[in-house]
A and B are shown apart, each in its own frame.
Chain A
Amino acid sequence: MPPLAQRNLFHDKVRLTVTLTGIVFSVVLIVVQLGLFLGFTTATSNLIDHSGADLWITSKNVPYVEQGVAFSERKLNQVRAVPGVADAQKLIARWTQWKRHDGGQDSVQIVGINVDDTLERPWNLVQGRVEDLKSPDAVILDELYKQKLGVTAVGEVFEIGGHRARVVGFTHGIRSFTTSPYVFTTFKNAQNYTSLREDQTMFILVKVAPGASLEQVRRDLLNNVKDVEVFKTSEFSRMTTFYWMFTTGAGVAVLIAAVLGLVVGFVVVAQTIYATTVDHIREYGTLKAMGAPNSYVYKVIMKQAAIAAVMGYVLGMIVSVFVVNGSQKGGAAILMPPSMAVGMFFLTLLMCVGAALVSINKVTRIDPAMVFKG
């Protein structure tokens, strides 16, 4: 086929620019919004997903991890006595106040762990070691929040919940969805920082023995330990994510913005391809008069849309990569896994081809007799 689609597309540079701008805008908007959604989703369940536990034990009616309620740590022994439980550890995850050197205060989320155990250890350490938490009043936090908490280096001393805290290390990329940074410390310190009684915990993390049935262990825990809920890690992760993303409406807002990006892109592309089609309507009429079936004309228009989609996608992804990389230094990460990049290609193609259908409707109604009119 002679390059009619390509030539029609590139003939009017201004219109091509408008078309590509529309597609690029749409691609970037969708990537940013979906990436934000993904980033937020990951952040909401970060603590749970990286816990290394198979089961989470909470008080009754705990809808998400930030809403944990303290209960007696004596239940830990009951949990350890259940067949199939390979390991069980107490965990504190609770909000408290961090006092900066300038006297200002910020909310933080204390994560109190057993440093000698493998469950819920801080990950992605860029400075310090997890074992450093064994030193008195030691805490580890993420480098993203240094400025927010007024921290400049390891060794600095602050106040958490009225108690001394000394920074011994930094992690990288452990974001908190609530904007209250996670501060890792020992279980004992965490009790002090969060004013929890000595005999209280907020969660118990369970590692199931190899070969044991997760479901069976869960049932046995529910039967043997009173007044608790037992969730699979994936289940508790989903509950927490669902709460923050949908119950609060935060996720819905981001998704709506992504859909708006798609709609705006569709409208811009549809409008420009339609205008291009109208510009060339006499040519399409001539094609039909020459004996071209409708499908031939459709092919030309679809090819135009597909070329525009590919060009717009490539340009849009270049811009998106810059935006995504830039976001890594901020509090809200925009994630773009390879599957999203691939999915975006097909979504862009679908958007452009769908937009071209508006023009096809116009072409279908062309009367080839128009070629004889002037």
Chain B
Amino acid sequence: MESNMQSAITVQKLTKNYEEGATGTLALRGVDLDVHPGELLMLMGPSGSGKTTLLSIMGCILTATSGSVRVAGREVVGLNEKQLPALRLEHIGFVFQGFNLFPTLTAGENVELMLDLKGVSTAKAKKRSQELLEQVGLGEKYSAFPADLSGGQKQRVAIARALAGDPGIILADEPTAALDSHTGRNVMEMMSDLAHKRQRAVVIVTHDSRVLNFADRIVRIEDGAIASNTEAEMVPAGVLSLNQPQAAIGLV
């Protein structure tokens, strides 16, 4: 019970069955998992193993077939279509593989959109948006459209957008898949800082073995079940800041 209170996300005996054909597909079978604030957890596994399904359920985007999912201490299973978006808005920030920025809005406006959803006034949203872009090193790109940004810059705007809602949980789906190794490392340093310096619970689905050294814990999923759940070797903070000193700027 005490463990639940401390967890950002608690998943117990979670199953997900996709109704397809006569039998359906069992994507998750009895998954138990805790994610804590200040922890960077990586979900790994082969394609079709169920990791994105698990991420979607933890993100209150997909509903579980059975089991329990608690987000920020609140049971998610059984919430309706109006309650789930409100929960996402309050507690969860998403970072997507394809960035999912709004191409017709500038970088600043993309971040402001999240603030608008949270009910922040236009003037305050502009100011906060500028601050968040500066925190991810894109202060001068406020008026740039996504088409004029590099892949790494786009992902940093997406991170700024996810942070705009001040969520306790960051869920990222293959955030480095579309980036070169240098940029990918840069993005991972930001994710690491979010977990370790800002005490966010960060869950990342990835296939990218190059970023594993950023993980606090690696959960391997195979055939819808957790095959392994191991503490990863901590990467010394000094190494990160020496290699990519600009990455840590502003995230404190």
| Inter-subunit contact B85/A291 (CB<8 Å) | yes
Complex CA gap A372/B98 in Å reads 9
In the complex formed, the residue of A with least CB distance to B113 is A2
Interface magnitude class on chain A: 20 to 34
| Inter-subunit contact B104/A368 (CB<8 Å) | no
| The residue from B86, B89, B105, B112 contacting A7, defined by CB atoms under 8 A apart | B105
| Residues of chain A with a CB closer than 8 A to B173's CB | 372
Interface residues of B in 112-127 (CB under 8 A from A): 112-114, 116-117
| Inter-subunit contact A369/B100 (CB<8 Å) | no
Measured CB to CB, the closest approach of chain B to A4, in angstroms, equals 6
| Inter-subunit contact A369/B97 (CB<8 Å) | no
| The residue from A4, A368, A372 contacting B105, defined by CB atoms under 8 A apart | A4
| Inter-subunit contact A7/B88 (CB<8 Å) | no
| The residue from A2, A7, A289 contacting B94, defined by CB atoms under 8 A apart | A289
A374 an interface residue at 8 Å Cβ cutoff?
Answer: yes
Complex CA gap A283/B92 in Å reads 18
Complex CA gap A2/B61 in Å reads 24
| Inter-subunit contact B105/A292 (CB<8 Å) | no
Measured CB to CB, the closest approach of chain B to A288, in angstroms, equals 7
In the complex formed, the residue of A with least CB distance to B117 is A292
Complex CA gap A374/B178 in Å reads 11
Complex CA gap A3/B110 in Å reads 10
| The residue from A8, A11, A293 contacting B85, defined by CB atoms under 8 A apart | A293
| Inter-subunit contact A7/B61 (CB<8 Å) | no
Interface residues of A in 254-292 (CB under 8 A from B): 282-283, 286-292
A289-B88, A291-B165, A293-B82 are contacts. A4–B98 as well, Cβ < 8 Å? no
Measured CB to CB, the closest approach of chain A to B23, in angstroms, equals 21
| Residues of chain A with a CB closer than 8 A to B113's CB | 1-2, 4, 287, 290
| Inter-subunit contact A289/B82 (CB<8 Å) | no
Measured CB to CB, the closest approach of chain B to A187, in angstroms, equals 73
| The residue from B56, B90, B104 contacting A369, defined by CB atoms under 8 A apart | B56
B10 an interface residue at 8 Å Cβ cutoff?
Answer: no
| Inter-subunit contact A283/B56 (CB<8 Å) | no
In the complex formed, the residue of A with least CB distance to B57 is A369
A2-B109, A369-B61 are contacts. A290–B96 as well, Cβ < 8 Å? no
Per-residue CB contact flags for chain B residues 72-105 toward chain A (1 = under 8 Å, else 0) read 0000000000100111111010101110101111
Complex CA gap A289/B110 in Å reads 14
Measured CB to CB, the closest approach of chain A to B173, in angstroms, equals 5
| Inter-subunit contact A286/B105 (CB<8 Å) | no
Complex CA gap A371/B102 in Å reads 13
Taking Cβ atoms with an 8 Å cutoff, the residues of A that contact B are 1-4, 7-8, 11, 282-283, 286-293, 296, 368-369, 371-372, 374
Q: List 18 A-B contacts (CB under 8 A).
A: A4-B102, A4-B113, A7-B105, A282-B100, A289-B59, A289-B94, A290-B94, A290-B161, A291-B87, A291-B89, A291-B117, A292-B117, A293-B82, A293-B85, A296-B117, A368-B61, A372-B55, A372-B97
Taking Cβ atoms with an 8 Å cutoff, the residues of B that contact A are 52, 55-56, 59, 61-62, 82, 85-90, 92, 94, 96-98, 100, 102-105, 109-110, 112-114, 116-117, 161, 165, 173
